[in-house]
Amino acid sequence: MATPIITQNPSLPTAPKEEEALEDDRLCSGISSFSLLEKEQPQSSSSSDSLSSLGSPCRIERVWAHWKKLGAPKLIVAPMVDNSELPFRMLCRKYGAEAAYTPMLHSRIFSENGKYRTQEFTTCKEDRPLFVQFCANNPDTLLEAAQMVGPHCDYVDINLGCPQRIARRGNYGAFLMDNLPLIKSLVEKLAQNLQVPVSCKIRIFPNLEDTITYARMLEDAGCALLAVHGRTRDEKDGTKFRADWTAIKAVKEALRIPVLANGNIRHMDDVRSCLEETGVDGVLSAESLLENPALFAGFRTAEWIEGEEESNRDGGLDQGDLLVEYLKLCEKYPVPWRMIRVHVHRMLGDWFRIHPDVREDFNKQTKLTFEFLYDMVNRLRGLGTRIPLYVKSSDAGVLGDKVAPQAVQDS
């Protein structure tokens, strides 16, 4: 089972009883051919083409050539345990996301357990560019897991940012910041032996100098792309602590590889400000996408409506529509019901606040079905609920077609 590092949303029901949890681990329908891993041969190692190979004078050029070949994606779905699974990634891609991370996978369990691999990592040919993220504290185990996913992704990413207790107990994520030589050995192992480039996702240190030294060490070890979450290990609550874009800017200026910013991306104005203020190559969003998977297409929730009335209009799309699209993707790309349950709460949170009785009814279901979920959206609509997503005229076309809401609606 995926390692649960999620901070529980207060609107979620309390932990299900054991038999309910087992029901939620069922796949929502039969597994289909996109679960490719069991059929793949491990990648050959030590390729002379390895993008991350150390000491090569043109390594940095090749790092950039790879990034540009992927289309230099700017709008990226962040890794989220139990939440950035295939159907959710595909929904976000439809609405403007240009690349996506898988949820964090546990490298040891992944390399040892076929059921975990089949259930927790699924992909399809349209699911690119793709970062597959692992947590790890053993270079050989990490390499073994990375070789299995290499043929299906564009980066193998190391999670160096998870601040949760489970990561402390398992000695991975942000707790490896206390053991930089171990981090170096993880990056070097992949960089020297894997054809697919290695990327890292980090948190910042309280001290900027330490952050820069850390980032340079990663680049020198062979990291080909760095995502920087601009909060420290102790700043767990994203609603309380603003991400430090100044630190991210300093990292971008100190490195030669592509750098991505993470934190405080809630709508397209944030995307523009972050790109301008930090000079980074792209941004990651997590929490806000869960509520509004159409964020990167320029849609925003009512919370982010400001200024003159006429500059914001009803975008002709709402979270009920998005949930229905997500459920259809789940029928096509099966996932455990527990993932669907969380997305229902996130996307329909505002709707449930108006109709708590519908939420209670949903929480009571120990065994979910698609029929129940489609009916529930219809029931909410029947009760007259409609909370539109809005578009701001300045969002259309600013970063190209990908963020023109009209283009999405017309398609």
Ligand X SMILES: Cc1cc2nc3c(=O)[nH]c(=O)nc-3n(C[C@H](O)[C@H](O)[C@H](O)COP(=O)(O)O)c2cc1C
Catalytic residue ranges: 162
Query: For residues 224 and 131, what is the distance between their CA atoms, to the nearest angstrom?
Result: 12
- Does 133 help bind ligand X (rule: CB under 6 A)? yes
Amino acid at 286: A
Cβ 307 to ligand X shortest distance, Å? 23
Under the binding rule (CB under 6 A), the answer on residue 186 touching ligand X is no
HSE (side-chain half, CA atoms, 13 Å) at 328: 8
The 151-170 site mask, x for binding ligand X (CB under 6 A), equals --------x-xx--------
User: For ligand X, which residue has the nearest CB?
Assistant: 104
* Three-state DSSP class for residue 205: coil
- DSSP element (H, E) containing 118: helix 114-120
Residue 60 interacts with ligand X (CB under 6 A)?
Answer: no
Q: Between residues 59 and 300, which has the closer beta carbon with respect to ligand X?
A: 300
Measured distance CA(170)–CA(174) in Å, rounded: 11
Q: How far apart are the first and last CA of the chain?
A: 37
Q: How far apart are CA 198 and CA 80, in angstroms?
A: 18
Min. distance of Cβ 275 from ligand X in angstroms? 15
Smallest separation (angstroms) from ligand X to the CB of 47 = 27
- Interface stretch with ligand X, choices 42-50, 209-217, 282-290, 325-333 (CB under 6 A): 282-290
CB of 176 to ligand X, least distance (A): 12
Q: Please name which of 335, 404, 374 lies closest in space to residue 88, comparing C-alpha atoms.
A: 335
Contacts (Cβ under 8 Å, ≥6 apart) of 115: none
Stretch that binds ligand X, among 75-83, 142-150, 191-199, 372-380 (CB under 6 A): 75-83
Residue labelled with tokens 């349950």: 341
Q: Please select the residue that binds ligand X; options are 28, 77, 80, 156, rule is CB under 6 A.
A: 80
193 lines the binding site for ligand X (CB under 6 A): no
CB closer to ligand X, 50 vs 262: 262
According to the binding rule CB under 6 A, does residue 81 interact with ligand X? yes
CB 157 within 8 A of CB 101: yes
Q: Answer yes or no whether residue 201 interacts with ligand X by CB under 6 A.
A: yes
Q: How far is the CB of 199 from ligand X (least distance, A)?
A: 11
Pick from 265, 329, 330, 399 the residue near ligand X by CB under 6 A. Answer: 265
CB of residue 243 to ligand X, shortest distance in Å: 6
Question: How do strand 259-262 and strand 225-229 relate by DSSP bridges?
Answer: parallel
104 binds ligand X (CB under 6 A): yes
If DSSP codes are grouped into helix, strand and coil, which group holds residue 27?
A: strand
Measured from the CB atom, the residue of 35 and 102 that comes closer to ligand X is 102
Q: Which phi and psi (to 5°) does residue 153 adopt?
A: -145, 175
263 is a contact residue toward ligand X (CB under 6 A)? yes
Name the residue nearer to ligand X (CB basis): 5 or 403: 5
The CA distance from 167 to 7, in Å, is 13
Going by DSSP bridges, is the β-strand pair 388-392/299-300 parallel, antiparallel, or unpaired? antiparallel
Segment lying near ligand X (by CB under 6 A), choices 106-114, 141-149, 259-267, 273-281: 259-267
Nearer to ligand X, 347 or 380 (CB): 347
Q: Alpha-carbon distance 167 to 5, whole Å? A: 8
Describe the chain by its helix, strand, coil percentages, rounded to 5. Answer: 50, 15, 40
Name the CA dihedral angle for 89, 99, 284, 202, rounded to a multiple of 10 degrees: 100
Cβ contacts of 325 within 8 Å, gap of 6 or more: 91, 94
CB of 83 to ligand X, least distance (A): 5
Peptide bond into 129 cis (omega under 30): yes
Q: Which is nearer to ligand X, 4 or 279 (CB)?
A: 4
Piece of the chain touching ligand X by CB under 6 A; list 30-38, 257-265, 317-325, 356-364: 257-265
Does 260 engage in binding with ligand X (CB under 6 A)? no
The answer to whether residue 79 forms part of the interface with ligand X (CB under 6 A) is yes
Task: Build a one-symbol-per-residue string for 309-348: x at contacts with ligand X by CB under 6 A, - elsewhere.
Answer: ----------------------------------------
Where do contacts with ligand X occur on this chain (CB under 6 A)?
5-6, 78-81, 83, 103-104, 133, 159, 161-162, 201, 229, 238, 262-263, 265, 285-288
